[in-house]
Each structure stands twice: as C-alpha cells, then as structure tokens.
Amino acid sequence: MDAKITKQRLGNLLSYDWIKILAAVAAAVVALSLFFTMVGTRPTLAQTFTVYCYGGLSSGKDFATLDREIEPKLSYDILSVGAEDFGNDQYSGTLYTTRRAAGEGTAMFVADTPEYDEEGKLKENSTPLLAYSYGVAYRGEEKRSGFYDTAYFFEDCKNYLCGFFGQDFTAASALDETAAKECFLNRNGKDKRFLKAAKKEAGIAREQERLLQLREDYLFVVEAFEEGKLSHVSYRTEEGEYNFAISLKALGGIGSLVTYVKDGEPSLAPVSLMIFCNERGKGNDLRFETVSFLRYLVEEYGAANEKS
C-alpha cells in the first residue's frame, strides 16, 4: 500500500479535514489548560489580598496600579493581589454584597462622614463605618462582625508575634526558628509548592523571612500611630464602643489613591481604612498582611502634600 505523503495528499487532507484538525488542536489546548489548573496551586481566600474602594470614596490616579505596587510588600504566601473600586452608582451595593457573600475582601477604603443631631447624638447611618458594620466590630467575643476592631487587630498581631519573638519583643529580638518551622508546616505542609524536601526547606526559610518582615512592619506602624500619622476611628453605639477603622487623614498624599469630594472640593479628612474579619480570620497566619499594607500607605502617602 502506497502511504507516501505527497503534496497532493496533504492538500486534500487540509481541504477536507481542516475543521477536524482545528477541533483537535482546540481540544488539546483545553486539556492542557485544565491539567495545569488542576496540578497548579490555586490561591485560597487566605492567600488572596484584595483592597476595595467604596462608601463615598472614588479611586484616584494611583488606584489602577495599587495591586502591582503592594504585591512586593506582602509575604511570599500571598498568591493573588487585587484592588477594586465599586464606584457610587446604583450597582455598587449589589457588587459589594456579592463580594462579601463570597467571603472576599481584605481591607476597604471608606469615607467617614459622621453627622450629629441637635442634642449632639451621632446619627449612626451618617457614616459608612457604622452602616456597614451594623455598629459592632469584632474584638474576640462570640459576637462576630464583618470588620475588626482595629485596636484589637493590632493587639492580636502583637500576641501573634510574641509567639515567635518572646514577650516585649524589639527589633533586635531573636526569632524562634522551631516555632517558625512549626507554623510553616501547619499551614503549608501539604502545599503542592513544597512537597519536595529541598523546596520545603526553602519554604521554611521564606517563612522566617515573613515573620521577620511582619515584626518590622508592625513596629513601624505602631510608631506611625504614636507619631499621629495613623489613628483609630472610635464610636460609641448601642452595642458598645469600638474602633471601626484607621483614619488616614494625616497622610497628606492619600488623595492620589482615594478621594472624597464634597461640594465639588476634594477632602482628605474622611478617608479611613476598615479591616474585614472573615471566617478565615481567626487562627489564620496571613490575616496580618494588612499591617504591611499600612506601612506601604504611610511610606508612600505620608508626605505633607498630595503627590502630583
């Protein structure tokens, strides 16, 4: 039988079977895509860091590149970084609710716009901080909230770091490498990225770097609070007194990132940052990545005048 490939036979094949060939190529591409998706590491919610802009604020010129800017500031275990502006139109609320229903979101820029009645009593619906949190913030009690009490969040971070650097740690405190290794193995012991012994050892080294960096970032941000660059936004509601957000009004350049406009004029005063408390939060080592994000904000936007 003559099975020799000739120009005529090849032409006939392409003429009559080109659709089959394209279908076969497409099927192969889809199969390869599914294969790499299945064997690759998919970011969990805890490994995803997402910043939102909402609640009366609009994104500034820097917001479009925020995800790329902050990615190097976060730890090796954050595998996906995003930033999303919900806008202020009729669909904003639906989009925000959808994201939160899925447990998404790490922190959110919000305008703090309190109003008081004639008796000096706060109108709780006047500021998004209270409207979104329903007047309660999570600080370790059984009663949960979608947002952290920010002072509790930092106390929680301090206690977490004490487990690796000892009580009353300083910038020079030694890292407990055994505790760091146990922390890594508990979180990433079965991660596909670290199944081989050599990669696991490299991962443990990166975990040590993560903890050292978190300590440095924590001490930096605590100092920023002491210097007045950051402050907690506190309100007393029927549920009690809570710290609902961190005020960024002292960061003179924050208007390049998010803006609040009243009567046609931009203002920095209402800009604050709320920290989501998701179901993943308690016990999750990566919940303190927001501390590193706050350091970035202070360093990048702490100038006296707004960036040009």
279 pLDDT more than 70: no
Instruction: Read off the pLDDT band of 308 (50, 70, 90).
Output: very low
- CB-based contact 268:254 (threshold 8 Å): yes
Instruction: Read off the pLDDT band of 43 (50, 70, 90).
Output: confident
pLDDT at 5: 61
Alpha carbons 203 and 300: distance in angstroms, whole number: 29
8 pLDDT more than 80: no
Nearest to 96 by CA among 156, 282, 221, 105: 105
**Helix residue ranges, H only, the chain:** 7-39, 66-70, 92-101, 128-133, 150-165, 177-188, 197-226, 289-301
Instruction: Read off the pLDDT band of 282 (50, 70, 90).
Output: very low
- Token pair, residue 242, equals 């809570």
More confident residue, 306 or 132: 132
User: pLDDT digits over 11-22, tens only?
Assistant: 665 565 555 656
Alpha carbons 29 and 33: distance in angstroms, whole number: 6
Instruction: Read off the pLDDT band of 178 (50, 70, 90).
Output: very high
Alpha carbons 226 and 243: distance in angstroms, whole number: 16
**What is 243-257 written as a DSSP string?**
EEEEE-TT-TTGGGT
Question: Mean pLDDT, to the nearest integer, of 218-231?
Answer: 97
